[in-house]
């Protein structure tokens, strides 16, 4: 009969990894990702900074885990009627309250384009999923006559993502930029059926 010790050690390691992800997500939300934030995460978890990387290959793998946790929390907070375009606007509103994670996401998405980057697969899959969900929402609106149908739903979905990311980048330099309002206005204009 196999010993239960390895299973216990594995479970303890998995719990510690989850604790690191949860703590890092909370710290990065307010303090960002660099230097002191990693020390703060280690301090709150009760380990040395170097120990964090016993659970993660490096900063980028921890970063990817934090971004996935950010997505998980966002979906958990979503109400039943908030999907597709409504979720994009709600996410932009939430991002305003989490400046560290928002900055982290914007910077990471811009630097993970190299296929060898630890976060590359995460962003590639995330963009594909977001475009797919938005396109389905837009397609539904098109079939109801509530959105323009002179352009394919997927093209419109990509434009919404591009504006969202573009406004977010501008927000990095000017905190007066209201990403949620800008996105809401763009969606209203973009989806309005062209005049007959």
Distance CA 155, CA 191 (A): 11
0.75 exceeded by pTM: yes
Domains and CATH numbers, the chain: 5-191 (1.10.357.10)
Judged against a pLDDT cut of 60, whether residue 145 lies above it is answered with yes
Distance CA 145, CA 140 (A): 9
pLDDT greater at residue 188 or residue 78: 188
pLDDT digits (tens, 9 = 90+) for 108-131: 888 888 898 888 999 999 999 999
pLDDT greater at residue 88 or residue 193: 88
Distance CA 69, CA 58 (A): 17
190 is written with which tokens? 């973009």
pLDDT digits (tens, 9 = 90+) for 74-103: 777 666 556 789 888 988 988 888 888 888
Distance CA 183, CA 53 (A): 38
Contacts of 98 (CB under 8 A, 6+ apart): 29, 30, 70
- With CA atoms as reference, report the closest residue to 22 among 44, 49, 50: 44
3-class secondary structure per residue, the chain: CCCCHHHHHHHHHHHHHHHHHHHHHHHHHHHCCCCHHHHHHHHHHCCCHHHHHHHCCCHHHHHHHHHHHHHHHHHHHCCCCCCCHHHHHHHHHHHHHCHHHHHHHHHHHHHCCCCCCCCHHHHHHHHHHHHHHHHHHHHHHHHCCCCCCCCCHHHHHHHHHHHHHHHHHHHHHCCCCCHHHHHHHHHHHHHCCCCC
Distance CA 194, CA 149 (A): 9
- Percent of the chain exceeding pLDDT 70 equals 89
Contacts of 116 (CB under 8 A, 6+ apart): none
């Amino acid at each position: 009969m196999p010993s239960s010790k390895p299973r216990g050690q594995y479970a303890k390691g998995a719990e510690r990894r989850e604790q690191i992800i949860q703590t890092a997500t909370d710290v990065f939300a307010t303090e960002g990702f660099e230097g002191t934030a990693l020390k703060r995460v280690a301090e709150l978890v009760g380990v040395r900074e170097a120990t964090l990387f016993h659970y993660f290959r490096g900063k980028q793998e921890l970063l990817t885990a934090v971004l996935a946790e950010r997505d998980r929390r966002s979906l958990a907070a979503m109400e039943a009627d908030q999907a597709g375009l409504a979720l994009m606007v709600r996410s932009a509103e939430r991002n305003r309250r989490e400046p560290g994670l928002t900055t982290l996401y914007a910077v990471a998405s811009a630097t993970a384009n190299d296929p060898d980057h630890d976060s590359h697969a995460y962003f590639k899959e995330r963009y594909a999923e977001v475009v797919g969900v938005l396109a389905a929402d837009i397609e539904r609106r098109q079939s109801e006559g509530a959105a323009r149908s002179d352009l394919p739903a997927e093209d419109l979905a990509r434009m919404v993502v591009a504006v969202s990311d573009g406004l977010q980048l501008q927000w990095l330099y000017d905190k007066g930029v209201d990403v949620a309002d800008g996105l809401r206005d763009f969606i209203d204009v973009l989806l309005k059926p062209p005049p007959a």
